Chains A and B, each alone.
Chain A
Amino acid sequence: MKMKGWYRRLAAMLPLAAIAFLLSGCGVNMGVLDPKGTIARQQLDLIIISSILCVIILVPVLVMTFWIAWKYRSNRKQGDAAYKPNWSHSGKIEAVMWGVPIVIILILAIITVQFTHKLEPSKALASEEKPITIEVVSLDWKWLFLYPEQGIATVNFVQFPKGVPVEFKLTADSPMNSFWIPQLGGQIYTMSGMAMELNLIADEEGEYPGKGANFTGEHFGKMGFIAKASSQEEFDQWVADVKKSSPSLSQQGYDELAEQSVIDTKVTYSSFPDGLFDRIVTKYSAGTGSGHHHGSSSSAGEANDSGHEGMNHEGMDMGAEGATASSASQTAATEEHEHHHE
């Protein structure tokens, strides 16, 4: 039983030791714990509120566990006076036992529902500034950012002015990934054939690490990017520089970019093909609409333009009969998609 006290002290010390460890390396990015935007800040608030609710029940339970285990150990001194081998039921205690968790969960549920609606990622942020739209495409294994309003494009780097709501529209031209900038707000999946929406805002200038958070194969670990929030002037200057000095991205250039590869540096393009993002989305949703036309008995005859991903195509000969992209402007076949636009 001596061990037990030691054990508890150790359990209490661990978080402290961990924090000490962190403080020793200063300038460390604390991610979620160091929010730099409204969304991330509210999410952290929510994390703290729910943690407190949990601790309210956690602490008494832990104290009770060890206190009872200690008090009623078999080799205790006070003998068998307190031993009640058949005591196994008490209506009052059981009512409390069910009641307390129900109340806590009820409170938490109410908070959760409120925050779920408040922090719905597709909801536009209230702000006096006009939002900026950035289109995001996850590729194997890099991030492509398109600025439809500015007409420029970047890879593994995204810049936007601080204090201006950013409306990310996201899709994938690769297996599903997840777009995450911990200091600005929670992540959202990037999925082929769908345009997801994520609204974030940066309150402070700075460079925030971004991640590809969902596993997409061999070099998925190389899908980090930098999200830079700057002043409006700096942003405008940067856009002008990119427009002046960077090469442009052609459709062919995009097709090459979409092939499996790792890009270590940030890349910028002064322009990109019109409607590129929509084409990427509709390419995969082509098969999901209804009312397609098809030849009498030769659906297999239609060419598929999606064969440029550069993957290994063994076995794809049987499966390449997708429709052409143009036929599917309306793609509301799947639930997820509909919900997304509500």
Chain B
Amino acid sequence: MDKIKDFASDFFVTGDPLIYGADVAIVLVTVAIVAVLTYFKKWGWLWREWLTTVDHKKIGIMYILAALLMLFRGGVDALLMRTQLIMPNMDFLKPEHYNEIFTTHGVIMILFMAMPLMFGLFNIAVPLQIGARDVAFPVLNSLSFWLFFMGAMLFNLSFVIGGSPNGGWLAYPPLTEKMFSPGVGQDFYIWGIQISGIGSLMTGINFIVTILKMRAPGMTLMKMPMFTWSVLASSLTIILAFPILTVTLALLFIDRFLGAHFFTLDGGGNPMMYINLIWMWGHPEVYIVILPAFGIFSEVVATFSKKKLFGYTSMVFALMSISVVSFFTWAHHFFTMGSGANVNAFFAISTMIIAIPTGVKVFNWILTMYKGKISFKTPMLWTMGFIPCFVVGGMTGVLLSVAPADFQFHNSYFLIAHFHQVLIGGVAFGYFAGLYYWWPKMFGFSLNEKLGKWAFWLWNIGFYVCFMPQYVLGLMGMTRRYSTYGWDTGWFGLNLVSTIGAFLMGAGFLFQVWQILHSIKFMEKDTTGDPWDGRTLEWSIPSPAPMYNFATDPQVREVDDWWEEKQRLASGGAPRPKPALEPIHMPKNSGMPFIKATFWFIAGFGFVFDWMWMAIPGLIGVAACMLAHSFNYDTDYYIPVDEIERTEAAARRGV
């Protein structure tokens, strides 16, 4: 009996009211979901329509929902931290708990919020923009999603079971080796990221093939929409960077699990190697998430200025050069490691070079607005919020790249303020713009503009109130990851202001949730399929897009083909002849991805607790799923012409 008690107190995280609260909430929510699904007999629907779907549009929606959930969790972490720092000598969070929270905040925001939100937008927009019926490998796409989902769940489970990781978001050893972190938190970190990272890698491959091979006839590379270009650049960076992460985390796990000596203090291990490796992935990772945001801004600026994107070729060149140079800057994350003046100078300059194409893009957006007709709908507002925020953030980034000055910025709140400015002002604002922009295409109704404006202003003002003081705090010597500080430091006032800003952003998020609920209730249906007077192919089909996207293959003649076609029709041109409908070849739904990801989850959980009786069957299950899939030749079917005709007629009824 005592044994069971001991086990339970190790297994479940205990001793903190916050966590008991979370336990209760998790149980209640689970019970509620199960009850609702059972009562309304929705289990079959859930399985058929969502869990087994291979439709890129539905997978995109699931990515986005999961990402918003993670944004909530990561945001709560942020507010807990800011509450702890609101004044000196606070005792709201113990240091140990604070360390866990900043770790999970970082991991969740980058890997389980930004990445899935990005993949969600890839899925929603790319096939529609290039006139394809799905991605190149739809089942693989579904597997990517479920791997991400299971990885994220595994990571989040550490909050209530076993204990959260507490070694920082990049988990530098030797601190994260068994010697200093004997608990299971670090193993949750490794397996949560590892499982979802495999999914990310496969998404990268999937979208490269999709973009290179599945464009509509006539759409040459240089006629692709800019968002698709940015996805291509980002995906190329993913497939080159993510294997490094996979290896690095695997080596850390081998250290912890088998007692190897890759990064240990003893046995000849080299912790510096980990720091190099993790940043060889980590720096490109930053560009992986920002490049698609650049693509979104390009689409939004052109659409809402009703004008062609300025400098298309410059833009493409800038995107591609950023993704190449991003692999040669990693050491700027540790100028203070004593690598010597020449090494530091090299990485300082390579970092500065990235500022050039980035700056060019900003000019491109500004010149796209020049002589346009700009309307400030929410997607455009986020873009307008982005430009100044990102320019300032980019400039502080250039300051950080000046190696000798970085000796004074490094590890301080100056750095914290910088990367939040580019990640919130660049990535989050960008994805919000994309979310608002493509929302009508996803769901067939628009989001309420008024609440959206409230959300925008709260986020935007909150951002400056929160992070501008942090630049100053950094220069005053406030180090990151301090769980508390004394009155004698003089940091009270600025920290108080910063915390207020954080809560303003939290309020902005609540407005967004309200906005979504409000818009669902008072649905403003998008009957045109083209609510923004768009320019690219996704706006030429009904909202939400039919299962097969395009009834017939679109023929592309130029950049912004849909816009040009509308211009031609408006000036009296005859509509293009519609090719005859043909049966459409579609992939069948598959339960394999969900089941396989579940086996990964089981294996991961087993490895976290060193339970081989669980890990080994999990891995066997994964292998069995692969084999079963290899033997399955019944993977596709045809949609007959009369069904296409019915669907098209129903979708066009409102026109």
Give A335 to B220 CA distance when docked, in angstroms: 47
Interface residues in A286-342 (C-beta closer than 8 Å to B) = 286-288, 304, 306, 309, 311-322, 334-336, 339-340, 342
Known: A175-B172, A287-B261. A108 touches B352 (CB 8 A): yes
Q: Which of B84-122 contact A (CB under 8 A)?
A: 95-96, 99
Q: Which of A51, A115, A176 sits near B172, CB closer than 8 Å?
A: A176
Partner among B268, B376, B399, B411 whose Cβ is within 8 Å of the Cβ of A54:
B399
Give the docked Cα–Cα distance between A166 and B465 (Å). Answer: 40
B182 to chain A, nearest CB (A): 5
Q: In the complex the two chains form, is A178's CB within 8 Å of B410's CB?
A: yes
A183 CB to nearest B CB, Å: 8
A288 pairs with B270, CB closer than 8 A: yes
| B353 interfacial by beta-carbon distance below 8 Å | yes
Closest chain B residue to A198, Cβ basis: B338
A57 shortest CB reach to chain B, Å: 7
A145 at the A/B interface (Cβ < 8 Å)? no
Measured CA separation A312–B256 after assembly (Å)? 13
Report the Cα distance A288→B262, complex, angstroms.
12
Counting chain B residues whose Cβ lies within 8 A of the other chain, the interface size class is: 35 or more
Asked if A218 CB lies within 8 Å of chain B CBs, one says: yes
User: In the bound complex, what is the Cα–Cα distance between A29 and B405 (angstroms)?
Assistant: 19
A89 touches B497 (CB 8 A): no
Q: Tell me, yes or no, whether B247 is within 8 Å of chain A by CB.
A: no
Set B307, B374, B468, B479: member contacting A85, Cβ < 8 A:
B307
Any chain A CB within 8 A of the CB of B372? yes
Minimal Cβ-Cβ distance residue in A for B380? A69
Whether the Cβ atoms of B398 and A50 lie closer than 8 Å is yes
Q: Does B174 contact A (CB under 8 A)?
A: yes
Q: Tell me whether B404 and A43 are in contact (CB under 8 A).
A: yes
Interface residues of A in 138-180 (CB under 8 A from B): 175-176, 178, 180
Set of chain B residues within 8 Å of A21, measured between Cβ atoms: 493-494, 497
User: Known contacts A102-B356, A186-B410; is A315 also within 8 Å of B404 by CB?
Assistant: no
- Contact, CB under 8 Å: B363 / A311: no
Question: Any chain B CB within 8 A of the CB of A248?
Answer: no
Specify which chain A residues have a CB less than 8 angstroms from the CB of B510 in the assembled complex.
none
Residue B310 lies at the interface, judged by CB distance under 8 Å to chain A: yes
Contact present for A186 and B407 (CB under 8 Å) = yes
CA distance A189 to B179 in the complex (A): 20
Q: Is the CB of B371 within 8 A of A11?
A: no
Assess the A287–B269 pair: CB atoms within 8 A: yes
**Of the residues B337, B362, B479, contact of A61 by C-beta under 8 Å:** B362
Q: Nearest Cβ distance between residue A73 and chain B, in whole angstroms?
A: 5
Asked if A209 contacts B477 (CB within 8 A), the reply is yes
Least Cβ distance of A44 to chain B in Å?
8
Q: A210 CB to closest chain B CB, in angstroms?
A: 9
Is B355 a contact partner of A69 (Cβ separation < 8 A)? no
| Number of A positions contacting B (CB below 8 A) | 126
- B497: A residues at CB distance < 8 A: 18, 21
Of A47, A82, A213, the residue contacting B371 (CB under 8 A) is: A82
Residue B328, interface by CB 8 Å: no
Q: Across the interface, do A86 and B178 meet the contact criterion of CB distance under 8 Å?
A: no
Residue B311 at the chain A interface, CB threshold 8 Å: yes
Question: With A7-B460, A196-B338, A214-B411 as given contacts, are A182 and B477 in contact (CB-CB < 8 Å)?
Answer: yes
Answer whether residue B234 sits at the interface, using C-beta atoms and an 8 A cutoff: no
User: Could you tell me if B337 and A189 are in contact, using CB atoms closer than 8 angstroms?
Assistant: yes
The answer to the question of B620 belonging to the interface, with a C-beta cut-off of 8 Å to chain A, is no
Q: Interface readout for A41-73 with B: 1 if CB under 8 Å, 0 if not?
A: 011101100110011011001101110110011
Q: A62-B391, A288-B270 are in contact. Are A83 and B345 (CB under 8 A)?
A: no
Specify which chain B residues have a CB less than 8 angstroms from the CB of A130 in the assembled complex: none
In the complex, B489 has a CB within 8 A of chain A: yes
B371 touches A219 (CB 8 A): no
Of B52-60, B135-143, B480-488, B633-641, the stretch lying at the interface with chain A is: B480-488
A30 touching B344, Cβ below 8 Å: no
| Residue pair A215, B175 in contact (C-beta under 8 Å) | yes
Q: Are B477 and A88 interface neighbours, CB within 8 A?
A: no
Is A1 on the interface with B (CB-CB < 8 A)?
yes
A116 at the interface (CB under 8 A from B): yes
Question: What is the bound-complex CA distance between A37 and B115, given in angstroms?
Answer: 44
The answer to whether A72 and B373 have CB atoms under 8 Å apart is yes
Asked if A28 lies at the interface with its beta carbon under 8 angstroms from chain B, I say: yes
Residue B574 at the chain A interface, CB threshold 8 Å: no
Contact (A218, B460) CB under 8 Å given A18-B469, A58-B391, A61-B391 = no
Tell me if B399 and A51 are in contact (CB < 8 A).
Answer: yes
Q: B354-377 toward A: CB 8 Å interface, digit per residue (1/0)?
A: 011001101110111111111110
A316 touching B336 by the CB < 8 A rule?
Answer: no
Which chain B residues border A322 with CB–CB below 8 Å?
266-268
Which residues of B sit under 8 angstroms from A219, Cβ to Cβ? 95
Instruction: Find out whether the CB atom of A220 lies under 8 angstroms from the CB atom of B481.
Output: yes
Residues of A within 8 A of B412 (CB): 213
* Contact between chains at A112 and B391 (CB < 8 Å): no
CB distance from B360 to the nearest CB of A (A): 5
Beta-carbon contact of B341 and A120 below 8 Å: yes
Closest Cβ of chain A to B164, distance in Å, is 13
Which residue of chain A has its CB nearest to the CB of B559? A88
CA distance A28 to B353 in the complex (A): 37
Which residues from chain A contact B353 at a C-beta distance below 8 Å? 105
In the complex, chain A residues 236-277 whose Cβ is within 8 Å of any chain B Cβ: none
> Do the beta carbons of A340 and B411 come within 8 Å of each other?
no
Q: 1/0 contact trace for A75-110 toward B, CB 8 Å?
A: 100001011111111000110011001100100110
Q: Hey, which chain A residues are within 8 Å of B411, CB to CB?
A: 178, 180, 187, 213-214
Please list 15 pairs of residues, one from A and one from B, whose beta carbons are closer than 8 Å in the complex, sorted by A's number: A3-B457, A18-B472, A29-B489, A40-B408, A50-B402, A88-B309, A113-B345, A182-B408, A182-B475, A197-B338, A211-B477, A215-B99, A287-B269, A319-B261, A336-B337
**Extra 11 A-B pairs, beta carbons < 8 Å, given A29-B476, A68-B370, A115-B403:** A7-B461, A57-B395, A83-B371, A83-B372, A108-B398, A115-B405, A118-B404, A175-B174, A188-B336, A311-B179, A336-B272
Chain B contacts to A: CB under 8 angstroms: 95-96, 99, 166-168, 172-175, 178-180, 182, 256, 258-261, 264-272, 305-312, 314, 334, 336-341, 343-345, 348-349, 352-353, 355-356, 359-360, 362-364, 366-376, 384, 387-388, 391-392, 395, 398-399, 401-408, 410-412, 457, 460-461, 464-465, 468-469, 472, 475-477, 479-485, 489-490, 492-494, 497
